[in-house]
């Protein structure tokens, strides 16, 4: 055993050295409460700490949760010689005491805590090797319907114990679409959007999933995993719209009455109804069982159907699924009696009407549903008054309400009027309607005019429309106020244009002849009119109108002087702008309705371009016309009748001027600032633009450009860029510092072509910062004569002074005052 102990000591010593234990403070120290962390599953033995003994302490004792693994050597070396397992004990609470030579405690016990740190030494495991669950078709996507659960003994506060769930496989897989999803943290399995839409127990009642779980937060490296099988049954969705509900209207049962129900797939849903029709009063309700009620009696005649929606929500107010549409149809009951069309319905029968002829139809109405027994009406005559000469004179067709003469023709002497009481009945109700039958005379009398000729009437043609010009009268001996005696007047001759009309007074049968359209002396000065009188009812056979039913009338229209009339309000003409003065450019015509001569004149000829022939209306140019000044020239023409009241009227004359090429091209602006820096380092160029005042084609001008002088061709070149722009380039660099005026010809290529000769001033000047430098009051580079003379004089003066100095120096050589003389002469030079 001594050998063993020594061996052990040696082993410990090795560890001690290699791990660095024993350094004061970190790995060794006096006895005091301490805390250590040690990874589980490490090498079987490790030194933890070296306690130092203070006399009289000579040895140490370890107690507490040592689990036979923690030990202390008499010299105070705390170590463990067994593998730690966090899952067995995560924290070891130890006590260390210091003992003296007699074994009595002299220090402590102090608390020593050893925390065992986790390593990933446990694999996750599903609690079940197989799970079973079920889901309703159309369940809300993302809402878990079951959970799988795995455990891992490792510390859940470290990745070692963090589990991630995953669906590895779904069987069957349809179109490669996942119908299920799993919450990777909770293991909750729910439907995907596609699953919610497409799962159908009829097509596929069960699915199998393989679900895996991984620790290490799902990392692939160093993680353990497990898997399980999940069987899922798909159950039918019971959240379905119920059948259309039929509610009988006007129910007397106590309300509310349950009419239908909806059910969510699981209990606990909160139900509500949504009224999309925005009714003023919504007569339905739902309770928390999903039962739907009608809250009061309905009236089909007010509204015969309802559509609303049932909604199921979860406890947070989130819809569990789509709303269900509830259709309600209100069933008719016969709760409306038939209604008469009016309090009294009046028919007229002529005296000589034959048996069986139709008199008229009574159409009663019923508010109940059409085409059902509730609105089928039956007609029956219940009473006739008077009953002379006999009862039952009339018949009514049972279902149509058509009345007929039943027994004999009627005679006014018997009774001029009958009152019938007619019973109109539907299934349950009876209504009495009243029919009055008037017996009217036969139309055996023709209308006869009071006179056959209404003579002559003279009217001015400008009489107002609507004026009554004549009253005519015919009489009819038939029964008054019937269709046999009422008179309608017609004009059969003399008014083919319909200028007159006749209204009949219903009381007196007088006819009022009225002007309906303006009269016109010029087209119809005399109207020989024939009136005809007739009845709305036909005459009985054998009776015919004769000439007494017609009358004559002569309407004489007199002339009123009217202004001349132009044949059109706007006259248009078009000429080329270069027409010669005096060319006819247009003409206007007016006519006087009375046939008077007309004199034409112009108004608004502000430019004085036109003149008009007073007699013919022809218009001529009176000056040079210019399209560029006015392309559309508008004037007024006046037509005045000669004689009469000199009435006049006006019309417009619009003269469009078409372009001729009468403007040569020109530069678009005055180019003053074109320059090149002098001296020219390399050939350069400048761009300029031309324009033309003539009308241009849609392509714009197409000018050609050329140098205006052949002698310049060695120095300059003009090249076209496009129709309006050209480039002027130098051909060399050898130019003087001065202004060159370059003559340029611009041709417009028109018909005939016009050429503009322009001059482009180009300056060669000294440049300062890229800008032409021109001293004030002087053009750059061109010395004036005065300047030249000045320069010359200054040069001569300087030369003169220098010569004088030289001369004086030579003369005074050897003299003492050379220095002062030189100074006095040089000084002015420096000024
Ligand atoms: C650990 O050491 C103690 C005493 O030093 C001894 O009794 C025990 O058997 C040792 N255990 C192992 C597994 O070496
Ligand atoms: C999973 O199982 C553990 C241990 O049984 C339990 O504490 C936990 O609540 C379960 N989780 C779920 C989501 O059921
Ligand atoms: C777990 O699910 C969440 C949310 O779907 C996702 O953001 C995360 O990346 C997933 N984690 C892993 C490891 O798949
Ligand atoms: C309901 O029926 C009763 C007879 O049953 C009727 O008097 C009432 O007018 C009806 N109400 C409506 C609104 O139709
Ligand atoms: C009516 O005019 C016609 C011709 O214009 C003339 O012959 C006749 O005498 C006139 N009659 C009366 C009553 O003026
Ligand atoms: C037209 O007939 C009526 C009787 O219908 C008769 O009184 C009148 O004299 C007749 N007139 C002419 C012109 O024949
Ligand atoms: C102009 O006069 C000519 C005859 O001179 C005629 O044919 C033409 O219709 C007149 N045009 C107008 C607008 O009146
Ligand atoms: C002609 O060329 C000039 C200069 O390049 C340019 O500014 C202009 O837009 C051009 N015009 C047309 C019609 O292309």
- Residue range 236-258, pLDDT digits in tens: 888 889 999 999 998 989 989 99
Which of 642, 658, 674 is the C-terminal boundary of a domain?
658
Q: Whose CA is closest to 457, among 498, 500, 497? A: 500
- The mean pLDDT of 493-508, rounded to a whole number, is 93
Residue 92 burial by Cβ neighbours in a 10 Å radius (0-12, 13-18, 19+): buried
Alpha helices by DSSP H, 477-517: none
**In sequence order, which residues have a C-beta less than 8 Å from that of residue 352 and are 6 or more positions away?**
409, 442, 540
For 392-407, what is each residue's pLDDT tens digit?
999 999 999 999 999 8
Measure 184 CA to ligand 3 centroid, in angstroms: 6
pLDDT of residue 806: 52
Determine whether the shortest distance from the Cβ of 184 to ligand 3 is under 6 A.
yes
Token pair belonging to 87:
């899952």
**Pairing between strand 590-591 and 344-350?**
unpaired
pLDDT of residue 67: 87
| Position 780 confidence tier, pLDDT thresholds 50, 70, 90 | very low
| Position 811 confidence tier, pLDDT thresholds 50, 70, 90 | low
225 and 124 Cβ atoms separated by less than 8 Å:
yes
| Position 6 confidence tier, pLDDT thresholds 50, 70, 90 | very low
Task: Give yes or no for residue 123 having a pLDDT over 70.
Answer: yes
Q: CA geometry: angle at 306 spanning 301 and 310, to 5°?
A: 160
Q: How many whole angstroms separate alpha carbon 529 and alpha carbon 261? A: 83
For 451-460, what is each residue's pLDDT tens digit?
999 999 999 9
Ligand nearest to the CA of 334: 4
Measuring from atom 8 of ligand 8, which residue has the nearest CA? 725
| Position 796 confidence tier, pLDDT thresholds 50, 70, 90 | low
pLDDT of residue 710: 87
706 and 755 Cβ atoms separated by less than 8 Å:
no
Residue 468 burial by Cβ neighbours in a 10 Å radius (0-12, 13-18, 19+): exposed
**In sequence order, which residues have a C-beta less than 8 Å from that of residue 626 and are 6 or more positions away?**
577, 657
Residues 433, 456, single domain; the answer is: no
Q: How many whole angstroms separate alpha carbon 655 and alpha carbon 635? A: 8
Which of 117, 151, 167 is the C-terminal boundary of a domain?
117
pLDDT of residue 262: 94
Q: Whose CA is closest to 742, among 726, 724, 756, 761? A: 761
Question: In ligand 4, which atom is closest to the CA atom of 336?
Answer: 14
| Position 831 confidence tier, pLDDT thresholds 50, 70, 90 | very low
Q: CA geometry: angle at 161 spanning 158 and 165, to 5°?
A: 125
pLDDT of residue 809: 60
Which of 96, 117, 138 is the C-terminal boundary of a domain?
117
- The mean pLDDT of 372-390, rounded to a whole number, is 91
Q: How many whole angstroms separate alpha carbon 268 and alpha carbon 265? A: 9
pLDDT of residue 25: 53
pLDDT of residue 440: 84
Q: How many whole angstroms separate alpha carbon 36 and alpha carbon 91? A: 10
Measure 685 CA to ligand 1 centroid, in angstroms: 106
422 is a domain residue: yes
727 is a domain residue: yes
Q: CA geometry: angle at 124 spanning 212 and 210, to 5°?
A: 15
Question: In ligand 8, which atom is closest to the CA atom of 700?
Answer: 13
Measure 188 CA to ligand 2 centroid, in angstroms: 11
- Who has greater pLDDT, 781 or 314? 314
Question: In ligand 1, which atom is closest to the CA atom of 44?
Answer: 13
Measure 489 CA to ligand 4 centroid, in angstroms: 54
pLDDT of residue 562: 82
pLDDT of residue 458: 93
Ligand 6 residue neighbourhood (C-beta within 6 Å): 446, 546-548
- The mean pLDDT of 642-649, rounded to a whole number, is 84
Ligand 1 residue neighbourhood (C-beta within 6 Å): 71, 81-82
511 and 473 Cβ atoms separated by less than 8 Å:
yes
51 is a domain residue: yes
CA 715 to chain centroid:
65
Residues 302, 371, single domain; the answer is: no
Residues 510, 542, single domain; the answer is: yes
Residues 550, 454, single domain; the answer is: yes
- Who has greater pLDDT, 55 or 329? 329
The number of distinct structural domains making up the chain is 8
- The mean pLDDT of 319-329, rounded to a whole number, is 90
- Who has greater pLDDT, 538 or 19? 538
For 423-461, what is each residue's pLDDT tens digit?
999 989 999 999 999 988 888 889 999 999 999 999 998
CA 373 to chain centroid:
51
Which residues share a beta bridge with 794?
Answer: none
Residues 551, 617, single domain; the answer is: no
Ligand nearest to the CA of 167: 3
| Position 815 confidence tier, pLDDT thresholds 50, 70, 90 | very low
- Who has greater pLDDT, 479 or 430? 430
Question: In ligand 2, which atom is closest to the CA atom of 186?
Answer: 13
Measure 458 CA to ligand 5 centroid, in angstroms: 10
Residues 6, 113, single domain; the answer is: yes
The backbone region for 693, taken as left when phi is positive above 0, alpha when psi lies in -120 to 50, beta otherwise, is alpha
Question: In ligand 1, which atom is closest to the CA atom of 8?
Answer: 5
Collapsed DSSP state (helix, strand, coil) of residue 315 = coil
Percent over 90 (pLDDT), the chain: 46
Residues 10, 106, single domain; the answer is: yes
117 and 154 Cβ atoms separated by less than 8 Å:
no
| Among 77-86, 125-134, 377-386, the least confident range | 77-86
**In sequence order, which residues have a C-beta less than 8 Å from that of residue 374 and are 6 or more positions away?**
332, 333, 334, 336, 366, 368, 426, 427
Q: How many whole angstroms separate alpha carbon 498 and alpha carbon 127? A: 106
Measuring from atom 14 of ligand 5, which residue has the nearest CA? 456
- Distances in Å between the Cα of 272 and the Cα atoms of 275, 284, 330, 434, 787 are 10, 10, 22, 53, 107
pLDDT of residue 176: 87
436 is a domain residue: yes
**Radius of gyration, CA atoms only, the chain:** 63
- Distances in Å between the Cα of 241 and the Cα atoms of 81, 262, 328, 574 are 73, 7, 12, 78
Ligand nearest to the CA of 617: 7
**In sequence order, which residues have a C-beta less than 8 Å from that of residue 314 and are 6 or more positions away?**
268, 269, 270, 320
For 42-52, what is each residue's pLDDT tens digit?
777 778 888 88
Residues 685, 757, single domain; the answer is: yes
Determine whether the shortest distance from the Cβ of 159 to ligand 3 is under 6 A.
no
| In the block, residue with structure tokens 């009748």 | 641
Q: How many whole angstroms separate alpha carbon 585 and alpha carbon 230? A: 102
Report whether the peptide linkage leading into residue 386 is cis, meaning its omega lies within 30 degrees of zero: yes
- Who has greater pLDDT, 485 or 57? 485
250 and 290 Cβ atoms separated by less than 8 Å:
no
- Who has greater pLDDT, 108 or 170? 170
Token pair belonging to 428:
């349950």
Ligand nearest to the CA of 553: 5
Determine whether the shortest distance from the Cβ of 589 to ligand 7 is under 6 A.
yes
Task: Give yes or no for residue 774 having a pLDDT over 70.
Answer: no
Q: How many whole angstroms separate alpha carbon 133 and alpha carbon 145? A: 8
Measuring from atom 6 of ligand 4, which residue has the nearest CA? 335
CA 668 to chain centroid:
47
Q: How many whole angstroms separate alpha carbon 476 and alpha carbon 474? A: 7
What are the DSSP calls for 709-731, one per residue? Answer: -GGGTTTEEEEE-SSSEEEEEES
For 135-193, what is each residue's pLDDT tens digit?
988 888 888 999 999 998 888 888 888 889 999 999 888 888 999 999 989 999 999 99
Task: Give yes or no for residue 728 having a pLDDT over 70.
Answer: yes
Q: How many whole angstroms separate alpha carbon 421 and alpha carbon 403? A: 12
What are the DSSP calls for 236-297, one per residue? Answer: -----PPPPEEEESS--SPSPEEEEE---SSTT-EEEEE-TT--SS--EEE-TTSEEEE-S-
CA 420 to chain centroid:
65
Measure 100 CA to ligand 1 centroid, in angstroms: 24
| Position 810 confidence tier, pLDDT thresholds 50, 70, 90 | low
- The mean pLDDT of 702-710, rounded to a whole number, is 90
Determine whether the shortest distance from the Cβ of 456 to ligand 5 is under 6 A.
yes
Ligand nearest to the CA of 12: 1
Residues 654, 670, single domain; the answer is: no
For 666-677, what is each residue's pLDDT tens digit?
999 988 888 898
Residues 653, 671, single domain; the answer is: no
Measure 189 CA to ligand 2 centroid, in angstroms: 15
Q: Whose CA is closest to 249, among 329, 365, 362? A: 329
pLDDT of residue 327: 95
Residues 553, 453, single domain; the answer is: yes
Task: Give yes or no for residue 111 having a pLDDT over 50.
Answer: yes
DSSP state for residue 787 in the 8-state scheme: H
* CB atoms near residue 135 (< 10 Å): 26
| Position 804 confidence tier, pLDDT thresholds 50, 70, 90 | low
- The mean pLDDT of 589-616, rounded to a whole number, is 92
Token pair belonging to 540:
């009985």
Residues 84, 164, single domain; the answer is: no
Token pair belonging to 486:
């009422």
CATH of the domain at 597: 2.60.40.60
Ligand 4 residue neighbourhood (C-beta within 6 Å): 250, 299, 335
- Distances in Å between the Cα of 97 and the Cα atoms of 46, 81, 106 are 21, 20, 8
- The mean pLDDT of 815-831, rounded to a whole number, is 38
270 and 256 Cβ atoms separated by less than 8 Å:
no
* pTM over the 0.75 mark: no
Which residues share a beta bridge with 433?
Answer: 422
228 is a domain residue: yes
Across the chain, mean pLDDT equals 85
pLDDT of residue 412: 84
34 and 49 Cβ atoms separated by less than 8 Å:
yes
779 is a domain residue: no
| Among 22-31, 482-491, 526-535, 552-561, the least confident range | 22-31
215-219, 626-630, 726-730 — most confident range = 726-730
What are the DSSP calls for 601-635, one per residue? Answer: EEE--TT--EEE-TTT-EEEE-S---TTT-SEEEE
545 is a domain residue: yes
Q: Quote the domain boundaries for residue 411.
A: 344-440
**Pairing between strand 125-126 and 150-151?**
antiparallel
Measure 772 CA to ligand 6 centroid, in angstroms: 119
Question: In ligand 8, which atom is closest to the CA atom of 687?
Answer: 4
337 is a domain residue: no
Collapsed DSSP state (helix, strand, coil) of residue 126 = strand
């Amino acid at each position: 055993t001594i050998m063993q102990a020594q061996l052990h000591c040696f082993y410990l010593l090795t560890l001690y050295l290699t791990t660095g234990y024993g350094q004061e403070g970190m790995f060794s120290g006096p006895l005091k409460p301490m805390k250590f962390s040690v990874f589980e599953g490490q090498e079987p033995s490790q030194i933890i700490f070296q306690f130092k003994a203070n006399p009289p302490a000579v040895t140490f004792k370890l107690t507490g949760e040592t689990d036979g693994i923690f030990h202390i050597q008499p010299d105070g070396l705390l170590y463990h010689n067994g593998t730690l397992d966090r899952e067995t004990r995560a924290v070891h609470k130890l006590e260390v005491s210091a003992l003296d030579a007699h074994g009595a405690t002299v220090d402590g016990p102090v608390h020593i805590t050893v925390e065992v740190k986790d390593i990933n030494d446990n694999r996750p495991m599903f609690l079940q090797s197989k799970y079973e669950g079920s889901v309703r078709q159309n369940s809300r996507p993302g809402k878990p319907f079951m959970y799988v659960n795995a455990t891992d003994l490792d510390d859940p506060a470290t990745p070692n114990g963090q589990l991630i769930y995953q669906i590895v496989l779904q069987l069957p897989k349809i179109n490669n679409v996942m119908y299920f999803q799993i919450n990777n943290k909770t293991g909750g399995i729910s439907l995907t959007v596609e699953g919610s839409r497409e799962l159908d127990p009829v097509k596929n009642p069960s699915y199998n999933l393989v679900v895996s779980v991984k620790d290490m937060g799902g990392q692939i490296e160093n993680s353990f995993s497990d898997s399980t099988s999940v069987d899922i049954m798909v159950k039918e969705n019971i959240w379905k719209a119920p059948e259309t509900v039929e509610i009988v209207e006007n129910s007397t049962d106590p309300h509310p009455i349950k009419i239908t129900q909806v059910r969510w797939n699981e209990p606990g849903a909160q139900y509500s109804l949504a009224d999309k029709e925005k009714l003023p009063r919504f007569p339905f309700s739902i309770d928390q069982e999903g039962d739907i009620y009608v809250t009061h009696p309905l009236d089909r005649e007010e509204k015969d159907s309802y559509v609303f929606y049932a909604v199921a929500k979860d406890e947070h107010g989130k819809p569990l699924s789509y709303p269900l549409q509830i259709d309600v149809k209100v069933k008719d009951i016969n709760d409306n009696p038939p209604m008469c069309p009016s309090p009294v319905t009046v028919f007229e029968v002529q005296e000589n009407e034959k048996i069986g002829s139709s008199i008229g139809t009574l159409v009663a109405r019923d508010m109940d549903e059409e085409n059902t027994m509730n609105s089928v009406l039956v007609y029956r005559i219940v009473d006739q008054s008077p009953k002379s000469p006999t009862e039952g004179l009339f018949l009514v067709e049972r279902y149509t309400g058509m009345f007929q003469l039943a027994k004999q023709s009627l005679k006014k002497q018997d009774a001029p009027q009958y009152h019938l009481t007619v019973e109109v009945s539907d299934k349950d109700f009876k209504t009495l309607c009243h029919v009055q039958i008037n017996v009217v005379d036969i139309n055996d009398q023709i209308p006869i005019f009071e006179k056959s000729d209404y003579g002559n009437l003279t009217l001015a043609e400008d009489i107002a429309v609507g004026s009554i010009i004549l009253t005519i009268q015919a009489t009819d001996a038939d029964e008054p106020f019937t269709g046999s005696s009422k008179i309608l007047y017609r004009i059969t001759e003399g008014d083919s244009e319909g200028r007159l009309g006749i209204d009949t007074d219903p009381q007196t049968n007088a006819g009022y002849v009225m002007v309906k359209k303006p009269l016109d002396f010029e087209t119809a000065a005399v109207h020989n009119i024939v009136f005809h009188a007739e009845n709305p009812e036909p005459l009985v056979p054998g009776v015919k109108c004769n000439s007494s039913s017609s009358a004559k009338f002569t309407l004489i229209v007199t002339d009123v002087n009217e202004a001349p009339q132009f044949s059109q309000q706007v006259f248009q003409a078009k000429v080329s702008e270069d027409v010669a003065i005096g060319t006819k450019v247009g003409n206007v015509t007016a006519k006087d309705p009375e046939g008077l001569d007309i004199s034409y004149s112009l108004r608004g000829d502000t430019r004085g371009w036109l003149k008009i022939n007073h007699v013919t209306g022809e218009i001529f140019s009176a000056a040079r016309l210019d399209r560029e000044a006015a392309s559309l020239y508008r004037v007024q023409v006046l037509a005045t009748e000669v004689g009469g009241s000199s009435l006049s009227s006006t019309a417009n004359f619009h003269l469009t001027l078409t372009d001729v090429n009468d403007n040569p091209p020109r530069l678009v602006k005055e180019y003053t600032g074109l320059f090149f820096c002098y001296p020219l380092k390399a050939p350069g160029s400048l761009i300029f633009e031309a324009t033309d005042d003539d009308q241009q084609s849609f392509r714009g001008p197409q000018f050609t450009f050329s140098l205006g002088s052949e002698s310049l061709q060695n120095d300059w070149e003009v090249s076209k860029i496009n129709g309006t722009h050209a480039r002027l380039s130098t051909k060399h660099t050898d130019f003087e510092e001065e202004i060159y005026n370059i003559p340029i010809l611009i041709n417009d290529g028109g018909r005939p072509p016009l050429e503009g000769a322009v001059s482009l001033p180009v300056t060669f000047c000294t440049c300062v910062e890229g800008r032409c430098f021109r001293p004030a009051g002087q053009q750059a580079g061109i010395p004036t004569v005065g300047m030249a003379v000045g320069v010359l004089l200054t040069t001569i003066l300087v030369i003169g002074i220098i010569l004088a100095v030289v001369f004086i120096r030579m003369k005074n050589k050897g003299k003492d005052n050379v220095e002062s003389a030189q100074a006095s002469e040089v000084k002015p030079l420096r000024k």
